[in-house]
Chain A
């Protein structure tokens, strides 16, 4: 199609205006509000004991959830693409993996309370042995693992399907064990898919609120993550958003945007590799 200069320009203008109003400007205003009263004020809100503990807990959740879901994700992708399981079985596994994407995070939190909470299916067994899961850190870990579960599978499975299994078969013919084949042949060929999946998992784990909010006791200094801290500070000021809220949001946004930059880096590498 030979599109006239005028149409091209107006389409471009509409797109850029939409993205500016929806994404760029709102984020810019948050940064501006954070440093409105000087960097010192913002910094003091980021370094209160509650904020520091929230930062560590947020990172802890990500550090636990990401490796677990990476190992599971690569394994599940292998089963889905290479496994010899019957088709129906694979189809069910495939659909179940997507559940965390379509079920509301609040429902996920409720589900965990009903299973691991007081009076829940397994909750009392754990409580009697002195292990508190709900309204404590273990529940928040499970919630984070749940919501960030599908990313690695969804990134790795298509890459696995695309590279095919010829090289793996060649390795096997040459006498490599299946373990050697996986480490030397399969893993190197899917590494960018894994990396991108890990980045997406991390972003989600760092930013999760709904599921974690429901299963946390929301006590500052022990069971608050950064997103929960933002939520609690906002409630305390009754919706009149103040620097304390914006400062925590900026802190979290900076970490996440760091993750986004990694994401773009991996994204462009993946395209080059193909």
Chain B
């Protein structure tokens, strides 16, 4: 407990204290200006979009990994963990290499919102896949066969039988991806450019010595992250019963 407090709790408390150190009015002023609001809006929108795309594509990838067989499947399975192992700054760099200036395929997304989305999809890919995969493995196929023998089309079976079973896993994976996206810095540091992502605005504030402004934005960001965390626990508890 002491270790936790020294390493985690005291520093985070210091941020909250710093944010309101010059009074609530100053705290509010640091949030209620165009730059901070823009940063929050862009960060939230990008994170929501990433969570949504990630949910669809992650479920698809998990489906193919569980239900399909093809040569090289083990390799693809291992590839999913790559974003967890690869340092985020390298992840950002790989995307510049392919989709930046001097792109060998002629697509230049560098310093645009598109680049931010692609980078976030890269680093959050494993969340949905790794949370849906085990549920899909455990799923009782006899129910699907029963549905099919009763005349349900594949689309109906998927929507009525498979999807409801996967929904908590997809949701918790997407929520993790969302939480990660809100705070992501490493992979965006090289490619975000002038796109005002919250973590980058906070970094710029720290560098220019405006610690109070940085702390205020941090507090809002942490609150959003905490709400997501508690939502996750609530879903976890509900599924557990």
**Which residue of B has the minimal Cβ distance to A26?**
B94
Is the Cβ of B215 less than 8 Å from the Cβ of A110? yes
A110-B218, A210-B185 known; A240+B101 contact, CB < 8 A: yes
Contacts of B226 in A (CB 8 A): 102
B122 cross-chain contacts in A, Cβ below 8 A: 22-23, 26
Judging by beta carbons under 8 Å apart, are A111 and B144 in contact?
Answer: no
Within 8 A of A (CB), among B144-180: 144-145, 148, 154, 157-158, 179-180
* Given contact pairs A95-B233, A146-B7, A210-B185, A114 touches B15 in the complex (Cβ within 8 A): yes
> Which residues of B are found within 8 Å of A120, using beta-carbon distances?
14
| Residue pair A104, B183 in contact (C-beta under 8 Å) | yes
* Chain A residues with CB below 8 A from B1, complex form: 93
Query: Could you tell me how many residues of chain B have their Cβ less than 8 Å away from some Cβ of chain A?
Result: 85
> In the complex, what residues of A have CB within 8 A of residue B20's CB?
none
Whether B7 contacts A231 by the Cβ 8 Å rule is no
Tell yes or no: A72 within 8 A of B by CB: yes
Q: Which residue of A lies closest to B214 (CB)?
A: A110
A side interface size, CB within 8 A: 80
- B7-19 vs A, Cβ < 8 Å mask (1 yes, 0 no): 1111110110110
Distance A226 CA – B179 CA, assembled complex (angstroms):
26
CA distance A207 to B86 in the complex (A): 7
A99-B99 in contact (CB<8A): no
Tell whether, in the assembled complex, residue B89 and residue A231 are in contact, meaning their CB atoms are under 8 Å apart.
yes
Contact B82 A27 (CB under 8 A): yes
Contact partner of B87 (CB less than 8 A), chosen from A8, A19, A107, A227, is A227
CA distance A263 to B157 in the complex (A): 36
Judged by DSSP, the binding face of B is helix
Asked whether, in the complex, the Cβ of A249 is within 8 Å of the Cβ of B90, the reply is yes
Whether A263 and B12, one on each chain, are in contact in the complex, defined by CB atoms closer than 8 angstroms, is no
B222 near A115 with CB under 8 A, answer no
- Asked if residues A257 and B85 are in contact (CB atoms below 8 Å), the reply is yes
Q: Does B60 contact A (CB under 8 A)?
A: yes
* Cα A32 to Cα B1 with chains together (Å): 48
A11 at the interface (CB under 8 A from B): yes
Identify the closest chain A residue to B60 (Cβ). Answer: A15
B61 and A19 contact, CB distance less than 8 A? yes
Which listed residue, B98, B144, B218, B229, touches A25 by the CB 8 Å rule?
Answer: B98
Contact between A27 and B86, CB atoms less than 8 A apart: yes
B41 located at the interface, meaning its Cβ lies under 8 Å from any Cβ of chain A in the complex: no
Is A2 engaged at the interface, CB distance under 8 Å to the other chain? yes
A residues less than 8 Å from B222 (CB atoms)? 102-103, 107
A114 to B11, Cβ gap below 8 A? Answer: yes
Asked whether any CB of chain B lies closer than 8 Å to the CB of A241, the reply is yes
Q: How far is the CA of A12 from the CA of B95 in the complex (A)?
A: 23
B residues in contact with A213, CB < 8 Å: 189, 203
Instruction: Kindly provide the distance from the CB of A16 to the nearest chain B CB, expressed in whole angstroms.
Output: 7
A-B contact pairs, 8 of them (CB 8 A): A1-B157, A19-B80, A72-B3, A96-B4, A102-B222, A208-B87, A230-B90, A257-B86
Residues of A within 8 A of B (CB): 1-3, 7-8, 11-12, 14-16, 18-19, 22-27, 29-30, 33, 72, 76, 93, 95-115, 120-121, 142, 145-146, 149, 200, 203, 206-210, 213-214, 226-227, 230-231, 234, 239-241, 245-246, 249, 252-253, 256-257, 259-260, 263-264, 267
User: 3 closest Cβ contacts across the A-B interface?
Assistant: A207-B87, A104-B183, A111-B11
